[in-house]
A and B are shown apart, each in its own frame.
Chain A
Amino acid sequence: MIRLIDIYKSFGNNVVLNGLNLTIEKGKVTVIIGRSGGGKSVLLKHIIGLIRPDAGAIKIDGQDITGFNDRQLNRIRKKFGMLFQEAALFDSMTVGQNIAFPLVEHTTMKNSEILKIVREKLSQVGLSGIENKMPSELSGGMKKRVGLARAIALEPEIILFDEPTTGLDPIMSDIIGTLIIDIQSKLNVTCIVISHDIHGTLRIAHKIAMLHNGVIIESGTPEEIKKSSNPLLKQFIEGKAEGPMKVL
């Protein structure tokens, strides 16, 4: 279980997280929704220790990681996999080398074993046979799927998804959504997804949390969220420019 307790974070005068509290349950898909630039990615980077909060605690399986040094953080990070917004594949390496990277770094497996896992993970994301291609030869959707294959290479306990469907066509978005559901159920991992794709969110989430003005204003199951009377949440879900959430 991951608990974020009273998290505050500012960049200069810009307050991004303002006393945020959130509990993420083990073995579930939790989707954090909110407007672009609202601090969702910053929140995700706090969970994996890429950003430290100004105040508050981040507890992963009971351990507060906010005071951890690099070595301790690295130990915790081995529990995680992360799919970045633009996949963040190493462009000097082939697809296969990208997926093999965490295995080469953190295991003592032989090359033949690593190659077997690379092929298995690629087939899991529906991209068999592209291990010798370079990232620059791939489409946006393929890059994200390779990024996902890399994220699951070490069979992590928790996978973070930073806007996994942004910039993809509806069909590819649906494929990525299905992959998240499949991987979560097969590996029984905890998934934390940052998104503003409402349709996809309602499909994949066990729990949805809405981030607004640096705090979680509402959280619950997709059914509860759909029925919510919170005007901010309703405006966001219905995608209306008019409402309590000021756009301009």
Chain B
Amino acid sequence: MISYLGRFTIGIVRKMGQIFILLLQAIVWMMLPPYRFKAIIKQMEFVGVKSIFVVILTGVFTGGVLALQSHQGFKLFGAETLVGSIVALSMTRELGPVLTALMVNGRAGSAMAAELGTMRVTEQIDALYVMATNPVKYLIVPRIVAGVIMLPVLTIVSDFLGIIGGYFVGVFLLNINSGMFIANILQYLELDDIFHGLTKSIFFGLILTHIGCYKGFYTEGGAEGVGKATTEAVVISSVLILISDYILTSIMF
């Protein structure tokens, strides 16, 4: 039992070290020329543009359901007009960044793990080394940069559409006065709420791209290994996003 615990602990520490060293390598390679702008833009399109539809859907319906739920509670003491500020604050501070990160993680983080994992098991990563091209710089750096840039952009979209979703449900379905709804948002929502949410999304972008790349980069064991790496990437990133959300929230707000 003790030896099992020891092995387990050593395994965890080793993996954390590996994740950290790979991140350091990526940061160092990020600073060194040549800068691969074309590859970064390609990844920005993949992480950002191709995730936009799913982020729009998530934002609109989350804002809508927030309005529905909060209306139930506020109606009890006649404060229905507060629905607007609840939707806006929840979306910008919490749900916009977190749900966007979880959705992009499911779509792009998993795809990164699968792509790099396949490249590993088919020796394409070895081929990069042999051709004197560092795979961390060539494969990982553009993905991390794209994640860090695009997650805040997607979060802005999600925040905005969440509020729009909440507005439609609140004003058209729940008959809250439109002017009161907007005035309430403007009264309680501060710029800091938006910026703090966006700061969180930068960390989430880093986490989901780095973990996706890490799991893919160190894949072992053929097709089964690629499947395992993809699943683990999504699970680990999701958990880390939620844990880091708590830590960042407690620091910032």
Binding site for B on A (CB under 8 A): 45, 48-50, 70, 74-75, 77-78, 80-82, 84-86, 88-91, 101-102, 105-106
Bound-state CA distance A86–B120 (Å) is 12
Bound-state CA distance A85–B100 (Å) is 41
A-B contact pairs, 30 of them (CB 8 A): A48-B130, A49-B129, A50-B126, A50-B130, A70-B134, A74-B132, A77-B130, A77-B132, A78-B132, A80-B130, A81-B130, A82-B127, A82-B130, A84-B126, A84-B127, A86-B122, A88-B122, A88-B123, A88-B124, A88-B126, A88-B127, A90-B124, A90-B127, A91-B124, A101-B131, A101-B133, A102-B131, A102-B132, A105-B131, A105-B132
B132 touches A86 (CB 8 A): no
Q: Which residues of B contact A78 (CB under 8 A)?
A: 132
Bound-state CA distance A89–B124 (Å) is 7
Q: Which residues of B contact A50 (CB under 8 A)?
A: 126, 129-130
Binding site for A on B (CB under 8 A): 118-119, 122-124, 126-127, 129-134
A77 touches B129 (CB 8 A): yes
CB nearest neighbor in A for B118: A91
In the assembled complex, the CB of A138 is this many whole angstroms from the nearest CB of chain B, namely 14
For the complex of A and B, 4 pairs with smallest distance between CB atoms:
A88-B123, A74-B132, A88-B127, A77-B132
Q: Which residues of B contact A91 (CB under 8 A)?
A: 118, 122, 124
Bound-state CA distance A86–B122 (Å) is 7
Bound-state CA distance A226–B147 (Å) is 59
Which of B122, B123, B124, B132 interacts with A106 by CB under 8 Å?
Answer: B132
From B118, B119, B131, B133, residue with most partner A Cβ within 10 Å: B131
Q: Which residues of B contact A75 (CB under 8 A)?
A: 132
Bound-state CA distance A34–B132 (Å) is 29
B123 touches A85 (CB 8 A): yes
Q: Which residues of A contact B133 (CB under 8 A)?
A: 101, 105
Q: Which residues of B contact A80 (CB under 8 A)?
A: 130
B131 touches A77 (CB 8 A): yes
Bound-state CA distance A105–B124 (Å) is 16
In the assembled complex, the CB of A81 is this many whole angstroms from the nearest CB of chain B, namely 8
Bound-state CA distance A70–B119 (Å) is 20
Bound-state CA distance A223–B185 (Å) is 89
